[in-house]
Amino acid sequence: MELSDYDIREFISSLPKGITLVAVSKTKPVEEILRVYHAGHKIFGENRVQELSSKYEQLPKDIQWHQIGHLQSNKVKYIAPFVSMIHSIDSFKILRIVEQEAKKSDRVIDILLQVYIAEEESKFGLDRDEVLEILNSKEFYELQNIRLRGLMGIATYTENREQVRKEFRQLHEFFLKCKSEYFAGNSSFSELSMGMSGDYQIAIEEGATIIRLGSIIFGERNYL
């Protein structure tokens, strides 16, 4: 199932005000992205650098591209010249590399720290202590070419709605704590990216400002 052009417009305008929709187009061809683009939507997300760069080359330049998947250090240079936000900063190491590559492109890149919130095993994401370590370090505040806009999280893939709600709620609480303790008076720390096709309503109820939706917009993917 995918949405018709009319339904895409309806769907986007039905989202609460203040919610940013990232249309996750991974595995989908440029023609399908163009359909959504022509329906008026200009923010797209990809999780692989190579696919992101190739789509950037082929598609209109007023699209805002978000990198939502784990980023390898040797790939940052390919997206630094154009990426509009990176959701998946999961180490200080990758943060430093984004800073360097952004500087080379003479840009300031918006980033989110990806916080590990799920119960299942996952390779990626910082735990809360690691986030605080970054926020407590002097070095972080010397980075000139990245701008920390907030946090991102992926809930456990489960039918248990209460579990998902609990994880989003805890991330929201942690977001508010970071905001008040480290960014009081700095309005740019304002984004909480959480919620996918299966759980975005819960995410919105629990304080998301950015939702990342793939299959609900583009239909099921054949592979992940």
Ligand X SMILES: *Cc1c(COP(=O)(O)O)cnc(C)c1O
Q: Binding segment for ligand X among 122-130, 161-169, 171-179, 195-203 (CB under 6 A)?
A: 195-203
- To ligand X, the closest distance from the beta carbon of 216 in angstroms equals 6
Minimum separation from the CB atom of position 98 to ligand X (A): 17
Please give the size of the binding site for ligand X, defined by CB under 6 A. Answer: 14
Q: Contact with ligand X (CB under 6 A): which of 47, 67, 84, 209?
A: 47
Minimum Å gap between C-beta 105 and ligand X is 24
CA separation for the pair 173, 203 (Å, rounded): 13
Distance CA(131)–CA(154), nearest Å, equals 16
Say which residue the tokens 């990758």 belong to: 94
Q: How is residue 150 written in tokens? A: 């907030």
Q: Sketch the per residue contact string, 117 through 156, with ligand X: x for CB under 6 A, - otherwise.
A: -------------------------------------x--
Q: In which residue are the tokens 């946090």 written?
A: 151
69 binds ligand X (CB under 6 A): yes
Is 214 among the residues that bind ligand X (CB under 6 A)? yes
Q: Under 8 Å CB-to-CB from 217, ≥6 apart: which residues?
A: 2, 3, 8, 11, 23, 24, 36, 197
Report the alpha-carbon distance of residue 143 to residue 111 in Å, rounded: 12
With respect to ligand X, which residue has the nearer C-beta, 131 or 216?
Answer: 216
The H-or-E segment that residue 193 falls in is: strand 191-193
Candidates 191, 220, 210; CA nearest to 43 is: 210
Residue 213 is a binding residue for ligand X (CB under 6 A) = yes
CB of 106 to ligand X, least distance (A): 28
Q: Which is nearer to ligand X, 115 or 143 (CB)?
A: 115
| Cβ 212 vs Cβ 68: under 8 Å | yes
Stretch that binds ligand X, among 127-135, 157-165, 181-189, 191-199 (CB under 6 A): 191-199
Determine, following the binding rule CB under 6 A, whether residue 196 of this chain makes contact with ligand X: yes
Nearer to ligand X, 63 or 88 (CB): 88
217 burial via Cβ count (<10 Å: 0-12, 13-18, 19+): buried
Q: Which residues bind ligand X (CB under 6 A)?
A: 24, 26, 47, 68-69, 154, 196-198, 212-216
